[in-house]
Amino acid sequence: MFAKRIPALILIVLCLGGLIVFLAFGSARLESFARRVSQSLKYEVARTKGGPYASSDLFLNALQIPEPSETLRATMASLPPDETALLVGTLNEPAFRQSLLTVSYLSWPRQIAAVGCDEAAASGRVLYRPRDGVKIGYAIFFMRQPPEAMAGKAQAIGPNLKLVRVSENNEPHLTAN
C-alpha cells in the first residue's frame, strides 16, 4: 500500500522543490523584468514610505511632491472650513479623476468642487458642484497653470499643484455644460 503512494510523494516533493527554486530565483528575474519594462515605458514606479497614507500617496504621485498626502492635508487644514475649494484639471489627464477623489478625501471636512477642462473646448465641465450658498474661496490647479489674471497670486504646493485665493471680482462661476 505504501509502495503505491511513493510516486505521488515524489511528485509532491519535486513540485515543492521547483516552487522553492522559482521563488528564490524567479522573483529576482520578475523584478528585473518589471524594471526593464518600466524603463522602456519611461515611467517611474512610485514608492512610498508606507504608513496610513501609502495608497493616497500613490494616487497623488503625479503631483511630484514628497509626502503628497500629508502636504495636501496640511494645506487644506489652513483654509477656512466654511469655503469651498475648486479643483481645476484636464479631463483627459488620467491622474486627474483619481486625484480628485483623493484630494476630496484628504480635505475632509472641507468641500471640494471640481471642473474638468477640455483642451479642445473653450470652457470646462463641472464634475462636482459646491453646495448652494457656499462660497468658492480657493482654486487649486492640478497639472495646469492658473489663468494669467490669477498667476501672480498662485502659491505653488509643488510643480504640478497651485493654490490661488479667489477674490470677489474674479470668482469662478460654475455653469453646467
Query: Domain span at residue 98?
Result: 63-170
Is residue 50 one of the residues assigned to a domain? no
Give yes or no for a contact between 133 and 90, defined as CB atoms under 8 angstroms apart: no
Rounded CA-CA distance 158/68 in Å is 9
Q: What is the pLDDT of residue 12?
A: 78
Q: Which residue in this structure is represented by grid cell 509626502?
A: 67
Question: Do 106 and 162 reside in the same domain of the chain?
Answer: yes
Question: Do 147 and 67 reside in the same domain of the chain?
Answer: yes
Question: Do 27 and 71 reside in the same domain of the chain?
Answer: no
Is residue 55 one of the residues assigned to a domain? no
Q: pTM of the prediction?
A: 0.64
Tell me the pairing of strands 112-117 and 124-128.
antiparallel
pLDDT in tens, 50-106: 677 788 888 888 888 888 889 889 988 888 888 888 888 888 887 888 888 888 888
Extract the C-alpha cell encoding 71.
Answer: 502636504
Residue type, 63: L
